[in-house]
Amino acid sequence: MIRFNVPPYTGKEMEYIRQAVDNMHICGDGEFTKRCSAYLEKITGTAKCLLTTSCTHALEMAALLCDIKEGDEVILPSYTFVSTADAFVLRGAVPVFVDIRPDTMNIDENLIEAAITERTKAIVVVHYAGVACEMDKIMEIAGKYHLRVVEDAAQAVMCTYKGKPLGTFGDFGCFSFHETKNFSMGEGGALLIRDEKYIEEAEIIREKGTDRSKYYRGQVDKYRWMNYGSSYLPSDMNAAYLYSQFEVADQINEARVARWNQYYRLLKPLQDAGKITLPVVPEECEHNGHMFYMKTKDLRERTELIRFMEEKGILAVSHYVPLHSAPAGLKFGRFHGEDHYTTAESERLLRLPMFYQLTEEQTDYIADRVKEFYGA
């Protein structure tokens, strides 16, 4: 059976976890956490990166830092993971969903402005499959209406828009290091902070509302309760696992992009024959091979293809059920405008196996089976 995902593994993980244990520093903000944050600050050029226990928690921190309050509205796509909305709903915000573009499956930047009301506080964008949203337009709208921008860049580590790293456009960027992502620590994430003025508050929120981060740096001689907060810092053992992958990050990225390009090349004839639709990567976007998806004619064909692939020993899977039609989405949010593409496109989308250890031969085999299904 070819699995849909295999967590990334490079070989150094156990050695580094052992080092964390030998350092006798297994709680948060040890040596490996520092190395991981420094690495992310280096590759993104952001003012500050704080490692977190998940991308969901990084989004929760962003919602707190945006000062989201009961009744505020946030604009976001409905085609996304629950956390994008949940982090803001937890603060009492109303998620206002707008439609996506069918080419990239990202929020349609041209529909955002019409969804803005007096209560709108933030725009939350999701860079689906590591392909950037139209950030120029989105930042322009945010500037015009004085809105905060949060980037759910869970899938977009090492991706760029016009050469600039994703996660660094908005006020806050959120990465995920869940085992399904390109770089992993089991469960984990990171918050990228663009403006220095938020760093101190973010450190306090992450450390149970205390200034312990300052205390550790020797800047204060005791730490105290300063503000509201929670516990958003991961164990250094998890950071050790992640760091081993950052050491070979380019290799991981290149391997995934190579498999992505291989899928694309092999399946292109099916698209040319009008049988399937392949993902679109706009010229100004550089992606990281996080996900390879294709679209079938409709839901029924997708169900048949999933079954066919399973019979051939391949796990191919669908993706998000649009949030606005899910029970919590109906309860907490609303959809602004018409759902032209969100539901229809989500029902056609199928993800093929994609992970660091996926081989060229396996990719050939998978693409051949898709072709076989379409009689090509």
Of 50 and 154, which has the nearer Cβ to ligand PLP? 154
Q: Does 178 bind ligand PLP (CB under 6 A)?
A: yes
Size of the site for ligand PLP (CB under 6 A): 14
State the nearest-atom distance from the C-beta of 196 to ligand PLP, in Å: 25
Position among 46, 80, 184, 238 found at the interface with ligand PLP (CB under 6 A): 80
Q: Does 84 bind ligand PLP (CB under 6 A)?
A: yes
Of 179 and 301, which has the nearer Cβ to ligand PLP? 179
Position among 5, 44, 54, 120 found at the interface with ligand PLP (CB under 6 A): 54
Dist. CA 88–CA 124, nearest whole Å: 10
Q: Does 123 bind ligand PLP (CB under 6 A)?
A: no
State the nearest-atom distance from the C-beta of 133 to ligand PLP, in Å: 12
Q: Does 106 bind ligand PLP (CB under 6 A)?
A: no
Dist. CA 309–CA 296, nearest whole Å: 13
State the nearest-atom distance from the C-beta of 354 to ligand PLP, in Å: 13
- Name the residue among 325, 305, 307 with its Cα closest to residue 370: 305
Q: Does 238 bind ligand PLP (CB under 6 A)?
A: no
Dist. CA 52–CA 189, nearest whole Å: 5
State the nearest-atom distance from the C-beta of 152 to ligand PLP, in Å: 5
Radius of gyration of the chain (CA): 21
Q: Does 213 bind ligand PLP (CB under 6 A)?
A: no
Q: Does 176 bind ligand PLP (CB under 6 A)?
A: yes
Q: Does 287 bind ligand PLP (CB under 6 A)?
A: no
Cβ atoms 152, 84 nearer than 8 A: yes
Q: Does 191 bind ligand PLP (CB under 6 A)?
A: no
Q: Does 56 bind ligand PLP (CB under 6 A)?
A: yes
Q: Which residues pair with 98 in a beta bridge?
A: 77
Instruction: Tell me how crowded residue 376 is: count the other CB atoms within 10 A of its CB.
Output: 12
State the nearest-atom distance from the C-beta of 232 to ligand PLP, in Å: 11
Position among 19, 37, 44, 83 found at the interface with ligand PLP (CB under 6 A): 83
State the nearest-atom distance from the C-beta of 310 to ligand PLP, in Å: 23
Of 7 and 215, which has the nearer Cβ to ligand PLP? 7
State the nearest-atom distance from the C-beta of 126 to ligand PLP, in Å: 5
Q: Does 19 bind ligand PLP (CB under 6 A)?
A: no
State the nearest-atom distance from the C-beta of 191 to ligand PLP, in Å: 11
Cβ atoms 47, 35 nearer than 8 A: no
Backbone torsion region of residue 29, taken as left when φ is above 0, otherwise alpha when ψ lies between -120 and 50, otherwise beta:
left
Q: Which two tokens stand for residue 157?
A: 């580590």
Of 30 and 189, which has the nearer Cβ to ligand PLP? 189
Dist. CA 187–CA 170, nearest whole Å: 24
Position among 155, 160, 238, 244 found at the interface with ligand PLP (CB under 6 A): 155
Binding mask 317-356 toward ligand PLP (x if CB under 6 A, else -) reads: ----------------------------------------
Q: Does 253 bind ligand PLP (CB under 6 A)?
A: no
State the nearest-atom distance from the C-beta of 215 to ligand PLP, in Å: 28
Q: Which two tokens stand for residue 135?
A: 């950030």
User: Interface with ligand PLP by CB under 6 A: which residues?
Assistant: 54-56, 80-81, 83-84, 126, 152, 154-155, 176, 178, 189
